[in-house]
Amino acid sequence: MKYWFMDRHRTCHGVQKMCRVIGASRSGYYRWKREPQSKRHKENEKILMEIRQSYRNSRKTYGSPRITEDLRAKGIKCSENRVARLMKSKGIVAKAAKKFKATTNSKHNLPVAGNLLKQDFESERPNTVWTSDITYIRTMEGWLYLAVILDLYSRQVVGWAMSDRLTSDFVIKALNQAIGRRNPDIGCIFHSDRGVQYASADFSKVLKAYGFIQSMSRKGNCYDNAVTESFFHTLKIEHVYDYRYETRAETIQSIFEYINIL
């Protein structure tokens, strides 16, 4: 790839100077020039250079989906699978953002439900098992909290809401949105952690009114809600650093756009 870079800029900088700066050899460069290379190989070298640039610009937080978007915005035609394969071949891996704030308060005396899923995250029909969780998003104006509800059958977000306070109100808002969009039958399982928002009387009242069966993870076991945790992990790897430079209103709009293209 370094020889491809040198070849691209040889009219602006001397070969000897570039070899010295990037630590390449002149003989290696001219040997590379003489050896026939496939069109695919040359395209991969070009794409790799752009991948590395996008990766650096994102502070090493972008995965293959966002990097693919960046490349396409520059007019480079490539599939996400190709980008992922090239990233893997060079050990380019997105780094997850560090956790800053806790969102689960399970130290309460409210009633908790048993774990009905037991880490079985397969569903044969839509709107029979929903999972939910809360995460935090840091913006330039302070923290925002995001609650999502996923349908285990499709892994799609069926309801979501954001708030600057960790109360049960915005979780109920996400639930009402999901009910309005999907109208699930009586007996749909609703699984979450043991957080006070999900154990509150107001939230339980809405669940009972619509015939949900409540299920909760075991205390301190994130694997019991792995599907929703995985959704937040992807969100944070690819987007969280962007939101640090946005207002709350801009962040809510960005989250809306992200969720609606899934």
* pLDDT tens for each residue of the chain, 262 residues long: 567 677 777 777 778 777 887 778 788 777 777 665 666 777 888 898 899 888 888 778 788 888 999 899 888 888 988 998 899 888 888 876 554 455 555 566 788 899 999 999 989 999 999 999 999 888 877 888 999 999 999 999 999 999 988 888 999 999 999 999 999 999 999 999 998 999 999 999 999 999 999 999 988 787 899 999 988 888 777 655 455 667 778 878 878 877 765 5
Stated pTM of the model: 0.60
What 3-state class would DSSP assign to 145? Answer: strand
CATH number listed for the domain at residues 129-260: 3.30.420.10
Give kind and range of the element (H or E) at residue 137: strand 129-139
CA distance 39 to 116: 54
Query: Where are the domain boundaries for CATH 3.30.420.10 in the chain?
Result: 129-260
